[in-house]
Structure 1
Amino acid sequence: MMNPVIYVTRKIPEEVLQPYQNMFNFRMWDKEDVPVPRDVLLKEAATADGVLCLLTENIDREFFDYAKNLKIVANMAVGFDNIDVEAAREHGVVVTNTPDVLTETTADLTFALLMATARRIVEAADYIREDKWQYWAPYLLAGSDVHGKTIGIVGMGRIGEAVARRARGFGMSILYHNRSRQEKAEQELGAVYSDFTDLLQKADFVVSLVPLTEQTAKMFDRDAFNNMKSSAIFINVSRGGTVDEEALYDALAANEIQAAGLDVFANEPISSEHQLLELDNVVCLPHIGSASEATRTKMLELCLDNLKAVLNGEEAITPVK
């Protein structure tokens, strides 16, 4: 009996695949930094039993119509807004994601971005690179304190709680907004539930950690930024689609909010001509929230373990429900 065929949509290290080589026949797009073309993806999906994909792939109804033999799509991400989950169900295909394994790493990046934005770290580093540092001055590149301030976390899931733990270490007051109350976070971390508008009005740092859904699309709009303090700093490590980028640009350009730190954008990748990069009070990163070597390897291993389980007739480890 032939081993199931797995198509991997981006080049990944052979050593990660090695423990699974006897179980599967792997086919893989041969580039690490360029997404698989749509026509190649559809052609490969037509004969695959499983697909290991990234957020860059649009796994839509057309894809499932092509993928007649497909049993599982393993998405190397927590979010799955790149996948038509309803179409997958109709075609009897299991969809999995990679929660938990990237929680702490993404929380590290979130807090690093918050601190870099508050203390103007990137701007200060560029100040030296551009040979501008001639004198010391009392308010040269003065930023905002982090300790003792109020953080407002929108989306108190696993990553939100991990960010709250870090905030607690900085003596911050913690507000949060979520679809449901998180009593554990309230009891263990002293987090205080707040409605969305109240959080925006009180927080010194507003951190978006919500998934992208119909309800959260552009939830950070002009009204949201108008409700923030003029000294507020906005951080987005969720999905770019949760933000109205035009409204954010206008708020920053008019100093209606102080600064923003962004790891995600509405349309990725962005170029150096993106309008937000015109502003000195924005720190932009190329969607590296989970980008530590150890975590990315764990994410791939979880994808492969999900493929193994489903194609062996077992329950997926982390199914999208």
Structure 2
Amino acid sequence: SPPPPPNAPPSVDFTWTPTSGDTNTVFTFTAQVTDDHDPPNTIQVRWDWTGDGTWDTTWSTTKTASHTFSSPGNYTVVVQAKDSGGLTASASHMVSVTSPPPPPNGPPTVDFTWTPTSGDTSTVFTFTATASDDHDPPNTIQVRWDWTGDGTWDTTWSTTKTVSHTFSSAGTYTVVVQAIDSGGLTAIQSHTIIVTAPPPPGDFSISASPASLTIVCGSSGSSGITLTSLNGLSGTASLSASISSSGLVLVWPTVSLSPSSVTLPSGGTATSTLTVSTSVLTTPGTYTVTVTATIGSITHSADVTVVVTLM
């Protein structure tokens, strides 16, 4: 019989799926081999994923291999086949790899702080929203506010994240902020704020001790006048005294205050002394001495009853 024909190199090619992809794609490459002496399942192959001449896999009879490309670009993928006689063949194809698509738009996140953290109906609260988004820079995120949590937005959309508000009534308020990104996705955050009634206005009281005096004609008597700060009022008080009687008076007693001006500290007291003086000619009877104190626009008075007797 004639001798067998001389060994010829194998033939090789390959396909891949998917035919296009990005840096997240797992490509599957499948080699097809034939040989004049060896069955296909005995032919070994190896792969070079970048066409740089360096084989990235070892020889194997497995004809299918998977690979993911870490960077976008055009890659020359090479497969080499080898038969039992050591003869080889190669095939190459260009594989285009793109960048991955951007992730789908997610909604923004939003929260807010406020200063001061507590206050009353006279307080101007400043609210500051903090927003972030996977696609948009924070300064492009728009926000709007609902001061009472009633579902009605009290401001329009704005990229300004700081806004001020005063609550007209005392109560517990649910303040809500909503953020929206360029894709129309929204997020909401709320916090509870307690608003108290305003403190009562500053005031003062005035009292006399004793509130009644009995004076013998020709002598004098005194009463301590005390001013007390209420609700933190402070200031300089001007004092004056006047005397009246329901009877016929020929000679009046005289009244004086020392000092006639006192400084009232916040939360404290201030004192003065009322002196009622008579002479032997003073008309006996019952008198009312009214001591009046004024701080700013606030005026209060206290009465001292004075009985003048002959003996």
| Alignment TM-score > 0.5, same fold | no
TM-score (norm 1): 0.16
Give the number of the structure whose residues are more often strand, by fraction: 2
Give the number of the structure whose residues are more often helix, by fraction: 1
Greater RCO (CA < 8 Å, at least 6 residues apart): 1
Larger Cα Rg: Structure 1 or Structure 2?
Answer: 2
TM-score (norm 2): 0.16
